[in-house]
Amino acid sequence: MNMITLEKVSFLFENTKLEIMDSISFVARKGEFVCIVGPSGCGKSTLLRIIAGLIPPSSGRVLFANHEITEPNRKISFVFQDFALLPWLTNVENVKIGLSRSDISDEAKDKKASELLDRFGLSGFEDYYPNALSGGMKQRVGIARSVASDPQVLLMDEPFSSLDELTATSLRSDIVYMLENKNISVNSVIMVTHNVEEAVELADKVIVLSDKPSHVKKIINISGERPRDKRSGQFAAYMDEIYAALAKDIEQ
């Protein structure tokens, strides 16, 4: 089943007439972890915002299941690189933002938000403010907020790039766990990353974009159960394939 389908999505900013993307098509299926890589400024963050329904494409369309996305949908959630927490709200209140469009009582929201913080290892930190937390803990709050609405699709924009490697490793396995666990709503992840090793470690499919106006240069399917052995020849071969696809663009 296709969760997210991009059909010839093109985009230009009306104010600058800058053409950012040209006819991008790909599919994220149920159960799939999709990574998007591409040169800086090629439009990856803009593409995620289009998928989230925050901005419309200039042409083409994006489907969620079989429905065209024309506005934000709580079944599609965003995780940001800079966490995007509100510093004047406590952690539990930040997570509750993810529940603002659900019809449950305020008490039930408190309970669910606390349970989510607990699930992400932040029990006891409910009433702290985000500034009291490390970067990794802040991103756990960000992820808890994103999954509060029981989304089916998680969109992540370089979510681990500002974290130390050990923290990033632990959060990556949390995301894979959610994707692979049938009792958790998340069943498709689309993640933008600059980290090619991270893409090979996590993705079922890597979309390599060209410089802007960006188009899909290559789609590389990655096989193998996670966690994957980073020292294997196969792993290195996948990394080489992605680097080669990225590099070709720079030479042109």
Ligand X SMILES: Nc1ncnc2c1ncn2[C@@H]1O[C@H](COP(=O)(O)OP(=O)(O)OP(=O)(O)O)[C@@H](O)[C@H]1O
Options 8-16, 63-71, 135-143, 171-179: segment touching ligand X (CB under 6 A)? 8-16
Task: Mark 35-64 with x for binding to ligand X (rule: CB under 6 A) and - for no binding.
Answer: -----xxxxxxx------------------
Q: In terms of CB distance, is 44 or 96 closer to ligand X?
A: 44
Order the strands of the 188-192 sheet from edge to edge.
76-79, 153-157, 188-192, 33-37, 205-209, 216-221
- Write down the least CB distance from residue 6 to ligand X, Å: 15
Q: In terms of CB distance, is 40 or 131 closer to ligand X?
A: 40
**Torsion angle of alpha carbons 191, 197, 198, 204, nearest 10°?**
60
- Provide the 8-state DSSP code for 85: -
Burial of 163-193, coded b for 16+ CB within 10 Å and e otherwise, reads beeebbeebbebbbebbeeeeebbbbbbbbb
Q: Does 108 bind ligand X (CB under 6 A)?
A: no
- Write down the least CB distance from residue 18 to ligand X, Å: 5
Q: Does 58 bind Mg ion (CB under 5 A)?
A: no
**C-alpha to C-alpha distance for 202 and 14, rounded to whole angstroms:** 35
Options 43-51, 135-143, 207-215, 234-242: segment touching Mg ion (CB under 5 A)? 43-51
Could you tell me if 27 and 5 are in contact, meaning their C-beta atoms sit under 8 angstroms apart? yes
Cα angle 16, 249, 22 (rounded to 5 degrees) comes to 40
Q: Does 167 bind ligand X (CB under 6 A)?
A: no
Options 10-18, 27-35, 104-112, 238-246: segment touching ligand X (CB under 6 A)? 10-18
Question: How many residues at the interface with ligand X, by CB under 6 A?
Answer: 12
- Write down the least CB distance from residue 119 to Mg ion, Å: 28
Question: What does 114 bind: Mg ion, ligand X, none (CB cut-off 5 to 8 Å by kind)?
Answer: none
**C-alpha to C-alpha distance for 31 and 45, rounded to whole angstroms:** 22
CB atoms within 10 A of CB 132: 11
CA nearest neighbour of 122 among 135, 108, 141: 141
Phi, psi of 23 (to 5 degrees): 60, 60
Q: In terms of CB distance, is 44 or 96 closer to Mg ion?
A: 44
Options 45, 73, 169, 185; binder of Mg ion; rule CB under 5 A:
45
Q: Which residue is nearest to Mg ion (CB)?
A: 45
Which residues make up the interface to Mg ion (CB under 5 A)? 44-45
- Which parts of this chain interact with ligand X (CB under 6 A)? 13, 15-16, 18, 20, 40-46
